[in-house]
Amino acid sequence: MAGAFLNLAAAVSISSADGAVLGACLALAIATLLFIFYIQPDASDLAPHRSQLDQLMERRDAIYDNLRDLRFEFRSGKYSEGDFNTMKTSLENEAALVLTEIEQVTESQVRRARGVRPVETERGQR
């Protein structure tokens, strides 16, 4: 019986290199579990930060893409000339509104960025 125990101990023996790899795997598994279950991301990290200007420019690009697609589909014969002109006018009007909004947003940002400095008097008072 003692011989069987020695054979089992010899079969289970782990070399130092294998022990290091096993320890590294165990540490990695523990770190992964801690990260998954205990570290909570900040809500602001999950939400995209898009300004009003970014949203307007994205909308402008989408309208331009729609106009380009509309022209292609008209040339390929998908739309009649009357339908094409109606849809084109609608998209152009929408683009004009978006461009006006972009201009208003950029003007307000420029005005806020520059600011107004107080004028100094002869005595150095403001």
Question: How much of the chain, in percent, has pLDDT values that exceed 90?
Answer: 47
Residue 113 parent element (H or E): helix 81-114
Structure tokens at 97: 């509104």
Q: What is the mean pLDDT of the chain?
A: 81
pLDDT digits (tens, 9 = 90+) for 24-72: 999 999 999 888 888 877 766 666 677 889 999 999 999 999 999 999 9
Say how far apart CA 109 and CA 85 lie, in whole Å: 36
Say how far apart CA 26 and CA 11 lie, in whole Å: 21
Contact 73, 79 (CB under 8 A): yes
Amino acid identity of 114? R
Q: Which residue has the higher pLDDT, 37 or 78?
A: 78
Burial of 40 from C-beta contacts in 10 A (0-12 / 13-18 / 19+): exposed
Say how far apart CA 27 and CA 20 lie, in whole Å: 10
The CA-atom distances, in angstroms, between 74 and each of 46, 62, 65, 79, 96 are 41, 18, 14, 5, 22
